[in-house]
């Protein structure tokens, strides 16, 4: 901010939306179960760099995604 544009802040609708989203996020964190962990992929799966799903597991010595098939070994 260099002072050329006036910053009015958030209007009431935006403040309400932000408050709702924050409450949803905090309840998900406090609930202990993440949405992506409740899927059909193994518990020890890692995040896939291609599809951003927690579905990458070690298969035959290679990190392979069970969702999209991406493999470190080609």
| pLDDT given for residue 32 in this prediction | 58
Q: Do 72 and 63 meet the contact criterion of CB atoms below 8 Å apart?
A: yes
pLDDT digits (tens, 9 = 90+) for 17-56: 888 988 888 887 776 544 444 468 888 889 988 888 888 9
Short-list 60, 32, 57, 37, CA closest to 46: 57
| pLDDT given for residue 37 in this prediction | 47
Place of tokens 């998900």: 28
Q: Residue ranges of the domains in the chain? A: 12-65
């Amino acid at each position: 901010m260099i002072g050329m544009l006036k910053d009015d802040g958030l209007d009431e609708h935006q403040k309400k939306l932000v408050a709702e989203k924050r409450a949803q996020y905090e309840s998900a964190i406090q609930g202990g179960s993440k949405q992506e962990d409740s899927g059909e992929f193994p518990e020890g799966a890692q995040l896939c760099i291609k599809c951003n799903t927690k579905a990458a597991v070690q298969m035959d010595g290679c990190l392979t995604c069970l969702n999209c098939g991406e493999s470190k070994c080609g």
